[in-house]
Structure 1
Amino acid sequence: MDTKDIQRLIDFIAQSGLDEVNIETSDLKISVKRYGLGAPAGQQQASAPATMPAPVQQSAPQQSAPAPAAPAAAPAPEKKADTSNYITIKSPMIGTFYRSSGPDSASFVELGDEVKPGKVVCIIEAMKLFNEIESEVSGRIVRVLVENATPVEYDQPLFLVEPI
């Protein structure tokens, strides 16, 4: 694996939304980690890129000690709304979530809009392909669970729909 392959791997991981990837072969071990808003204690994030590659080792595999957990302040408990009667529209793939077809275009759906099966609710970009995500349920959009232009994981909830 040469430097260009490693850079392509890092670029792919940055766009995929994954936080950590480990690749190990008989003569190569690569660990790539991305630190989000809360970097581990002692890490500076001044103007560093979002994806930081770990050192590449050309030696036999070794075990690493688990990173110590950074103490976090306990968030105040939130009162959760009863969402048991809502239907969740989930992401069918890993990619980047977009609410509209372009920066100057209107969103496919807004809060309160009614959707029916086949109605496009968003786009998910994966590997430079823009995939229209259609509703499979009928109802009214009551909550958008993902910010525009952010990475999403497979099966991640995107919208809450109140059945009509």
Structure 2
Amino acid sequence: MKIDVKTIRALAENIEKYKLNEVAIESEGVKLVIKKEKPERNIEYIQPQQIIPQVFIDGEAQEDKIEEAEENLNCEYITAPMVGTFYTSSAPGNPAFVRVGTEVVPGETLCIIEAMKLMNEVKAHKACKIVKILVEDGKVVKKGDKLFAIE
């Protein structure tokens, strides 16, 4: 078989016709490989915006008042060990692992953080009482974000 322009054109048409990615032919010591070029994909990553609650007193934002209120709780915090989506229960419709006022023991699951389709349980590191849940269910958290106020 002789490899000529007609043969090359026929192979190229077969790539499209049969939705192939590559066709190879060898004849008389000559090897021809025709590959379909894959289009480049432009993937855009969008960083979710963090919503910062604000308190308005006399028409003026008082962000410091929120931080003061948290400090007045006189609590310790359980923080996010990784970036991901915060979930209060194991599945939609299931009861939350903990609620405000729940007393937990070391190793008890407090929430789940989903990262790259993996569900990671966040567990209590000591016996404590949940004073406040600081993140809404389904919100994105960063490593180090405060999840629970405990005492």
Aligned-residue offset at 1:3: 4.4
Change (3 A) 1:158 1:35: closer
Give 1:24-35 correspondences, 5 Å limit.
none
Q: Residue 73 of structure 2: which of 58, 70, 83 is its match?
A: 83
SS in 2 for 1:107: coil
Pairing of 1:121-132 with structure 2 (within 5 A):
121-132=110-121
Asked if residue 141 in structure 1 is aligned to residue 130 in structure 2, the reply is yes
Aligned length: 103
Q: Deviations over 1:50-88 (max 9, x none)?
A: xxxxxxxxxxxxxxxxxxxxxxx841353615133x121
Provide the aligned C-alpha RMSD in A. 2.4
Q: 1:99 aligns with which of 88, 97, 111?
A: 88
**TM-score, length-scaled by structure 1:** 0.56
TM-score by length of 2: 0.60
Q: Specify every segment of 5 or more residues in structure 2 that has no aligned partner in the other structure, as ranges.
A: 1-38, 53-58
Distance 1:127 1:135, change over 3 A: same
What runs of 5+ residues in structure 1 fail to find an aligned partner? 20-33, 39-72
- Give every structure 1 segment of 4 or more consecutive aligned residues whose post-TM-superposition deviation is greater than 4 Å: 34-38
AA in 2 matched with 1:111: V
Specify whether residues 127 and 114 from structure 1 end up closer, same or farther in structure 2 by C-alpha distance, changes over 3 A only: same
Considering fraction of residues, name the structure with more helix: 2
Query: Larger radius of gyration, structure 1 or 2?
Result: 2
